[in-house]
A and B are shown apart, each in its own frame.
Chain A
Amino acid sequence: MINMYEVSETNKMIESENLDVRTITLGISLLDCIDSDLKELNRKIYEKITTTAKNLVSVGRDIEKEFGIPIVNKRISITPIALVGGAACKTPEDFVEIAKTLDRAAEEVGVNFIGGYSALVSKAMTKSDENLIRSIPQALAVTERICSSVNVGSTKTGINMDAVRLCGEIVKATAEATKDRDSLGCAKLVIFCNAPDDNPFMAGAFLGVTEADAVINVGVSGPGVVKKALEKVRGKGFEELCETIKKTAFKVTRVGQLVAGEASQRLGVPFGIVDLSLAPTPDVGDSVAEILEEIGLERVGAPGTTAALALLNDQVKKGGVMASSYVGGLSGAFIPVSEDQGMIDAVHAGSLTLEKLEAMTCVCSVGLDMIAIPGKTSASTISGIIADEMAIGMVNQKTTAVRLIPVIGKDVGETAQFGGLLGYAPIMPVNEFGCETFISRKGRIPAPIHSFKN
């Protein structure tokens, strides 16, 4: 039988070390809503979401109460809208109408974000894909809860450089369209390489076409728990360090698996995956940077950072995999700048640069995440940064992503304020040499040789 020590260990993790379930994400397929009439399509989408997700928030609250574990977010991911809206939407403005419908549906069921205002264009774009991408700036400006993503590359297809070029312009236009809110729209726009179909985390969540009609995916968290556990093995060897991370990741993931199973059963929706990611928040003691510093770095960004992060990421997976029946999504340590107090401090201290962050993304999920850059940065430079990150994902057969915020009207030394879970970010300098000639080339970068495995 459970003993007092085990009970107090669990409750201490929850009460003082920020252990929580970061998100229960209900994936809803909208493929059966497809219609050539835009009004009819909007009606069907609204109906499907508000019916399927009717009990999501209340079930989440019940689970929180019964198990005494906070579930921070209840969210929805949907089939990429470029596929759903293709038959009805002839212009970018038509797609914006769907965005408004999604926003209303999300508000009705009480979720804070709905992800899947997306296009999958890793090889090439259809007219519908392009219209959706071109509608993103306006869609994110006139809605509150929509999250958007574009998959522009994969190991199998290479990188669609036409889409990369367009996305640089779209990021810039989104920043302009939301400049009254420190370009907040860009915090809800992710450019992916190798995007997973079952990611529960925003802003990059969508429900891939390989998925069921509805599915429950859960994202766990717990950087604070790992940090506290590592405080007890200061000065010890790598073996003990790695064992501690694994054991902690196992415990954290078991909670996620339990919550996923309960939610799935109560909602009558099949369980999909648990995403093992260590997801930080701006709260003190909920930081991935602090774990890296606990491992032995004076500051994140110092030499040794990439190795420490590689170790952390791998041990989290090794511990987590056995704790869940199905693992998926992004599953790795997140290193967003604005959402992690330790990262923000490292930028202020001059330890963490954009280039070091790029190196770090080679060994962990997900990518250049929530990084504020000067508003004057050109669209082609943004495309260049996206292309670099996509190349890392393509060659290493992993998911990478870019969520950059060119903060219009602000420059290096200033701070962008996003509020809530999105936090705030110091504006980081960008290499000022251009890449326009490279970005303006048409077509795509071919898939790497090691993708031909058949």
Chain B
Amino acid sequence: MKKCIVTVLGKDTVGIVAKVCTYLAENKINILDISQTIVQGYFNMMVIADVTELDKDFTALCDEMETLGQEIGVSIHCQREEIFEKMHRL
């Protein structure tokens, strides 16, 4: 399984989760874990997702998610899971 981590940060507004999840679904990305909080009006979400079925280049996915973030007015980063796994797990 190839996993990625999507982080969303920014000012809270209606429909952030919906738009991000819709985009993931359209790209055949399966959500494995999702957590979200609001701290002082700031939206903070992390999604762990399975990108095994993704049929485009992973760098293209990163670019598109960044663009989606700009449209919603938040910052979205999509990174491969290994960078976190390597750093925090033996």
Which A residues lie at the B interface, using CB under 8 A? 1-4, 6-11, 62, 65-69, 251, 254-255, 257-258
Contact = CB atoms under 8 A, between A and B. Distances in A.
B56 interface: no
Given A2-B88, A6-B88, A67 B59 contact: no
Grouping DSSP codes into helix (H, G, I), strand (E, B) and loop, the A interface class, with mixed when no group exceeds half, is helix
Contacts of B35: 3-4
Contact of B83 (A3, A8, A67): A67
Nearest to A19: B87
Interface size class of B (residues with CB under 8 A): 20 to 34
A66 B62 contact: yes
B86 A2 contact: no
B33 interface: yes
A8 B7 CA distance: 9
Contacts of A251: 87-88
Interface in B73-90: 77-89
3 closest residue pairs by CB, A with B:
A68-B79, A67-B83, A6-B88
A7 B82 contact: no
A251 B62 CA distance: 24
B14 interface: no
A248 to B, nearest CB: 11
Given A1-B33, A4-B46, 12 more contacts: A2-B88, A3-B35, A6-B87, A8-B46, A11-B7, A65-B59, A65-B62, A254-B86, A255-B86, A255-B87, A258-B83, A258-B86
Q: Which of B32, B81, B86, B87 has the most CB of A within 10 A?
A: B87
A2 B34 CA distance: 11
Q: Which of B32, B86, B88 has the most CB of A within 10 A?
A: B86
B29 interface: no
A10 B77 CA distance: 13
B23 interface: no
B26 to A, nearest CB: 20
B42 interface: no
A131 B79 CA distance: 50
Contact of A6 (B44, B62, B84): B84
B79 A66 contact: yes
Given A1-B33, A2-B88, A7-B46, A258 B82 contact: yes
Given A2-B48, A7-B46, A11-B7, A66 B80 contact: yes
